[in-house]
Amino acid sequence: MTVTAADLRERVRDLLAAHPPATTDRAAFLNARFDAGLAWVHYPEGLGGLGADPALQAVVDAGLAAADAPDNDPRRIGIGLGMAAPTILAYGTEEQKRRFLRPLWTGEEVWCQLFSEPGAGSDLAALGTRAVRDADGTWVVDGQKVWTSSAHLARWAILIARTDPDAPKHRGITYFLCDMTDPGVEVRPLRQITGEAEFNEVFLTGVRIPDSHRLGEVGDGWAVARTTLMNERVAIGGARIPREGGMIGRAAHTWRTRPELRTHDLHRRLLDLWVDAEVARLTGERLRQQLAAGGPGPEGSAMKLAFARLNQRISGLEVELLADEGLLYDDWTMRRPELVNFTGRDAGYRYLRSKGNSIEGGTSEVLLNIVAERVLGLPAEPRDDKDVPWKDLAR
């Protein structure tokens, strides 16, 4: 049966009548919303959705917002929603979907992503974290991950590890769901140029993962990881922001409130960036529609690349606009924020934080290769490691 907007409005009314937001516990309301199929309407029935057109999610969101109903704080659980959930939906068993999707969506369980490694650089497929199957079928994982957002808050992680060092680097990887509370998982803060430690290093020493927490086939982890990565780039580069939101909003505010700082050259450059920011915002909206219609394509890499470059240009202009004042920094106190705040604090913070945009979620160099090969159809870069076993690669 085709689900219509009218059907969803009726379901929202029924949910609000049975669970009035003013008198219902937040967690209870979110669980009831999930059970009503109003969490993500395009997901299957029984998994928080109704198999509806994803564009109809806006009908649900508007109805619940008008009633001041609690939401699931998507920013706080962005890795779970934007990366773990679509991968589990695409590759998970029915048991995995039913175990993980509900607490992921309600925010009862926070997720992180154990992909990047210090020894692999920008070549994620060169990862060296090993997973070896024990006699009882359990996987034993040893290695180190880095640049891990939310690891200090997470209950679960999506993890890729090498299970066949004799295979070429892209073919000997397997994808797992790792319990961050298990023995052998150690999380250490990684202090950044901003003074904060929103990222972490994660050390894995003899961590035991049951085979039931494997996602996809053994040795097929790279294909599974690509689903995660494409969703990640849309999640980072295509975040929904209002017109003149984000970095450009802060720079424009400074321009409007500090007329003594204005010059003709800065005015021209600010206008150029304002137009670029609006183009990026509308392109992000189109990418989200594409994502909802059937999955992200390689165009998400171009969006994330544009997001990084634009943030750095805008934050640089704002520091330049403020002249000596732009060189001041408010506070180097070590913090471990729960959320990344790209536009928070002062102009110096925004300038320094934007440097990380070129690294997180795929380096700009890697994304350029993806755009060249998979969007523009240009010849791939010459590679001498394509059919070489991982264990024989120079490191």
Give catalytic residues, as residue numbers.
Answer: 232
- Cα–Cα distance between 265 and 341 in angstroms, integer? 29
Can you give the C-alpha Rg of the chain in angstroms?
Answer: 22
Distances in Å between the Cα of 380 and the Cα atoms of 303, 362, 368, 373, 375 are 20, 18, 11, 6, 12
Q: Please tell me the distance from the alpha carbon of residue 63 to that of residue 335, in angstroms, as a whole number.
A: 37
Q: Is 71 helix (H, G, I), strand (E, B) or coil?
A: coil
3-state secondary structure of 380: coil
Q: Which element (helix H / strand E) includes 367? A: helix 364-370
Distance CA 30, CA 56 (A): 19
Cβ atoms within 10 A of the Cβ of 343, count?
A: 18
**318 is written with which tokens?**
């704002």
Beta bridge partners of 168: 389
* Cα-based angle 40, 66, 16 (whole degrees, multiple of 5): 65
Q: Using an 8 Å Cβ cutoff, are 160 and 177 in contact? A: no
Strand 156-162, strand 185-190: pairing: unpaired
To 10 degrees, what angle do helices 221-237 and 299-322 make?
Answer: 40
Which ranges constitute the DSSP H helices of 172-298? 221-237, 246-257, 264-294
Query: Which of 188, 158, 155 shows the shortest CA–CA distance to 173?
Result: 158
Tokens of residue 293, six digits? 């219609």
Q: Which residues of 136-155 are buried (b: 16+ CB within 10 A; e: fewer)?
A: eeebbbbbbbbbbbbbbbbe
Spatial distance between the Cα atoms of 291 and 288, rounded to a whole number of angstroms: 5
